[in-house]
Amino acid sequence: MLPCVLGQTAEEAVRRLRDAGATVVLCPYSSKKGVPQSDCSRVVRQKETERGVVELVVSPAKCAV
Distance CA(16)–CA(21), nearest Å, equals: 9
Contact 48, 19 (CB under 8 A): no
Q: Label residue 29 by pLDDT band (50, 70, 90).
A: very high
How does pLDDT run across 16-26, given as a tens digit for each residue?
999 999 999 99
Per-residue pLDDT at 65 exceeds 80: no
- CB < 8 Å & 24+ apart, contacts of 51-54: 52/21, 52/22, 52/23, 53/22, 53/23, 53/25, 54/2, 54/17, 54/22, 54/23, 54/24, 54/25
pTM of the model: 0.89
How does pLDDT run across 31-64, given as a tens digit for each residue?
888 888 889 999 999 999 999 999 999 999 998 8
Domain locations in the chain? Answer: 10-61
